Amino acid sequence: MRLEELVFIPSPGDGHIRPLVEVAKLLVDRDDNISVTVIIIPQMHGFSSGSSTSYIASLSTASEPRLRYNVLSLVDEPNSDDPKQNFLTYIDNFKPHVRATVEKLTDPGQPESRLAGFVVDMFCTAMIDVANEFGVPSYLFYTSNATFLGLQSHVQYLNDVKKYDVSDLKDSDTTELEVPSLSRPLPVKCFPSVMLSKEWIPFFISQARRFKETKGILVNTFAELEPQAMKFFSGEDNHLPKVYPVGPVLNIKTNGLDSADDKQSEILRWLDEQPRESVVFLCFGSMGGFREDQAKEIAIALERSGYRFLWSLRRAKPKGMMGPPGEFTNLEEILPEGFLDRTVKIGKIIGWAPQSAILANPAVRGFVTHCGWNSTLESIWFGVPIATWPLYAEQQVNAFEMVEELGLSVEIRNSFRADFMAAESELVTAEEIERGIRCLMELDREVKDRVKEMSEKSHVALMEGGSSHASILNFIQDVTKNLLNVPES
C-alpha cells in the first residue's frame, strides 16, 4: 500500500521543534501507512542554545524509513529594527528551500508515497502558501493550549466582525473580557502584552486568520484538562477548523545536552540525597532570566521560607535585546551577603536544568515556573503542583487557567507585565515570593488531589482508548479523507 507523506514544519526554537517531532513520532507509531518528513528551520542568530543545537544535531542522525529529518541551511537574516518583521521575513525566506525539499519527495520516480499535506507550526503559517502550490491541505500544530487558541480566535473575531480592538482595553476602565474558551471572564491584567500592544495586535490577528485556512488544528492538550475550551470547539460558533487535542506531547527522554551528562548527574545525585517531597524547584524556561535585583529578592524569599530548594538561575538579556538568557558569572556578587554559605546544606543553584528529570524525582514537592505550556504539561504529567510566575507571551493566560479555571496551582503574581520576550520590567518582592512558596509547599489536600488526578488523566489520554489517542486516529482518518479531494499529480 502507498504511504501517505506528511511534511512537518516546526518553528525555530526548542519549545516548538521538540513537541512537533513528538507528534510526528506518534503518527508514525499509530499508522503504518503514514510517513513524515520534518523540515527544520535553523534558529536565528542569537537565539540558539547549546541544548537546541545538540538536539537538532541528534535528529540529523535519527532518520528512519518512515520518519525523516531535513535540517535546512541558514539563510541571510533580515536586519530590521522591528523584531516581529525580522522573524516573519526570516520564515518567509525559507519558502524556496521548503519547496525544493518537498519537490524531491514528490518525484514521480517514487510512486510508493503520496504527498498528503503539510503540518505547520503556529508561527510558520507562511508555509501554507507552499502547501497550496502543491495542491495539498494544510494543518496547524498549536504548541500552546486550547484555551489560548480560543482566546486568539475570539480576539480576531471581535476585531474583524465586531470591529472591536482589544488593545484598547489597556487604557479603558474595563477590567475583564468574556472569553468563550473559559468558564469565567479573563481579567485584563492577565492579558498577554501582545494583545494590549498596538504594534503587535495586527500580527496576532493576521496569524489567527491564517489558522482558518487550514483543514484542522492539532493542539498540545488533552480533553480532560480543558473541558470548557473543548466544548467551545465542538459548537458551531467557534469559527475554526476542526480541533484535535493530541497531548500531552512531551519530549521527556531527550531533555538535555549531551555535554551536560555530568552536570545532570550531579543535580540528580543532590536530589537523591534530599528527603521525599522536600524540595521546591524554581525554573523559568529557555527564555526566562532575571536582573540582579530580582535574583536577590528570590534569594531572600528562599532563605526566609526555610525550604530546601533547587534554583535554575539565569541572567536576563539587557533591555531591548532578544534571545536566551545568559549565566551569572559570580553569584556572590549578586546574592545577599553570606547567602550561599547559609544555605549550602539545603539549597543548590544551577544554570541549565534537566527539567523533566528533576520533576520526575520524588524529592521535588513543588515547582515555581513561568507557566510556559510545555513546562505546565510536564508538571501535570509528573504530578508536581506549581506556583505561577508568568513572564511573557501567553503565560499570563496559562497561569490564570491553572489557578482560577482549573484550581491546579497557586500563584506568586499573575498581573506581571514584561516586554515581549525580553527582560522583566517589574520587581516582585521577597514577601510575595515567600508567600507563594509557602502556599505551594503547604498546599491543602484538595489541590494536591486534583493535581494527582489530572496527572493520571494525562497518562490515560495517550493510552489506547484514551481521548488523545482517539483524536490522533481521528486526525489520521481525516487526512486520508481529505486526500480524496486532492487530484493525482
pLDDT tens by residue, 396-408 = 999 999 999 999 9
Within 8 A by CB and 6+ apart from 341, the residues are none
Q: Model confidence at 362, in pLDDT bands (50, 70, 90)?
A: very high
Within 8 A by CB and 6+ apart from 147, the residues are 179, 181, 182, 226, 228, 229, 397, 401, 405
**Same-domain check for residues 412 and 432:** yes
Domain that holds residue 189: 3-251+461-483
**Same-domain check for residues 218 and 270:** no
Mean pLDDT of all residues in 133-142: 97
Q: Tally the domains of the chain.
A: 2
Q: Give the three-class secondary structure for 319.
A: coil
What is the Cα–Cα distance from 470 to 458, expressed in whole angstroms?
14
Task: Please state, rounded to an integer, the average pLDDT across all residues of the chain.
Answer: 90
Which of residues 94 and 352 earns the better pLDDT score?
94
What is the Cα–Cα distance from 379 to 4, expressed in whole angstroms?
35
Helix (H), strand (E) at residue 114: strand 113-121
Q: Can you give the pLDDT at residue 194?
A: 85
**Same-domain check for residues 299 and 439:** yes
305 lies in some domain: yes
What is the Cα–Cα distance from 355 to 394, expressed in whole angstroms?
20
Sequence length of the chain is 489
Cα 270 to Cα 264, 275, 283, 355: the distances in Å are 10, 11, 17, 14
452 lies in some domain: no
Q: Can you give the pLDDT at residue 255?
A: 44
274 lies in some domain: yes
What's the pLDDT tens digit per position in 22-56? 999 999 999 999 999 999 999 886 565 556 778 88
**Same-domain check for residues 392 and 476:** no
What's the pLDDT tens digit per position in 198-253? 999 999 999 999 999 999 999 999 999 999 999 999 987 778 999 999 999 998 76
What is residue 194's DSSP assignment?
G
448 lies in some domain: no
**Same-domain check for residues 281 and 181:** no
**Same-domain check for residues 139 and 197:** yes
What's the pLDDT tens digit per position in 166-192? 999 999 999 999 999 999 999 999 998
**Same-domain check for residues 240 and 360:** no
450 lies in some domain: no
CATH code of the domain in which 438 resides? 3.40.50.2000
**Same-domain check for residues 286 and 245:** no
**Same-domain check for residues 116 and 39:** yes
**Same-domain check for residues 246 and 100:** yes
456 lies in some domain: no
**Same-domain check for residues 419 and 469:** no
Report the side by side order of strands in the sheet with 279-283: 347-350, 308-312, 279-283, 364-369, 386-388, 409-411
**Same-domain check for residues 338 and 305:** yes
233 lies in some domain: yes
| Cα 227–Cα 214–Cα 117 angle in degrees, nearest 5 | 115
161 lies in some domain: yes
Asked if 198 contacts 164 with a C-beta cutoff of 8 angstroms, the reply is: no
